[in-house]
């Protein structure tokens, strides 16, 4: 029987190695371990003269599934993107979109007034505006 040369596919080989590595990791992790992935959303942070502004990308998340807490000079953003399921899934070819918990703790660059913070969610972007604590940069000192 005569055999031809096999064409080597580096991407197929990488996929085989990835699957083998995943299998090895599963053998080392306890069966009861929670294997949940948490996504950290990208954020932009900037400050104006009067406030700190944080913009976080949360596409596909509903407004009621977002929780924002300001505590100890940091902002804790929690959200959940829920999977949209349809009954006809027998011909699914690929699922690459992320579903599950989204969480990020953002340290604040200055002292703020958390009780006056405002948040708005529009077009998949969460915008949080937090007023800064006014600090006087100049003080007159009486010489005695």
pLDDT tens profile 111-137: 999 999 999 999 999 999 999 988 666
- Please tell me whether residue 102 adopts helix, strand or coil conformation: strand
Q: What stretches of 1-144 adopt beta strand conformation (E)?
A: 38-39, 43-47, 51-57, 66-71, 74-81, 100-107, 118-122, 125-131
Check residue 121 and give its pLDDT.
96
* Whether the predicted pLDDT of 144 surpasses 80: no
Can you name the residues that pair with 120 across neighbouring β-strands? 127
pLDDT in tens, 63-72: 999 999 998 8
- Residue 127, exposed/middle/buried by CB under 10 A (0-12, 13-18, 19+)? middle
pLDDT in tens, 20-76: 888 777 766 655 445 567 788 999 999 999 999 999 999 989 999 999 999 888 999
Q: How far is CA 124 from CA 13, 23, 42, 65, 98, in A?
A: 37, 35, 12, 12, 14
Token pair 């600090």 is at which residue? 135
Give the whole-angstrom CA distance, residue 4 versus residue 60: 49
Query: What are the structural domains of the chain?
Result: 37-85+95-131 (2.60.40.790)
- Please tell me whether residue 86 adopts helix, strand or coil conformation: coil
Check residue 32 and give its pLDDT.
46
Mean pLDDT taken over the chain: 83
**pLDDT over 70 percentage in the chain:** 83
C-alpha closest to that of 78 among 41, 108, 111: 41
């Amino acid at each position: 029987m005569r055999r031809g040369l096999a064409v080597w596919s580096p991407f197929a080989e990488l996929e085989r190695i990835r699957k083998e590595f995943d299998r090895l990791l599963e053998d080392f992790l306890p069966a009861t371990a929670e294997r949940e992935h948490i996504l950290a959303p990208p954020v932009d942070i900037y400050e104006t003269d009067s406030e700190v502004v944080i913009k976080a990308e949360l596409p596909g998340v509903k407004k009621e599934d977002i929780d924002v807490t300001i505590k100890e000079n940091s902002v804790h953003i929690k959200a959940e993107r829920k999977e949209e399921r349809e009954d006809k899934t027998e011909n699914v070819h690929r699922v690459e979109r992320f579903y599950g918990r989204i969480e990020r703790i953002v340290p604040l660059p200055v002292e703020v007034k958390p009780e006056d913070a405002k948040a708005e969610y529009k077009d998949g972007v969460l915008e949080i505006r937090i007023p800064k604590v006014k600090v006087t940069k100049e003080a007159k000192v009486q010489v005695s």
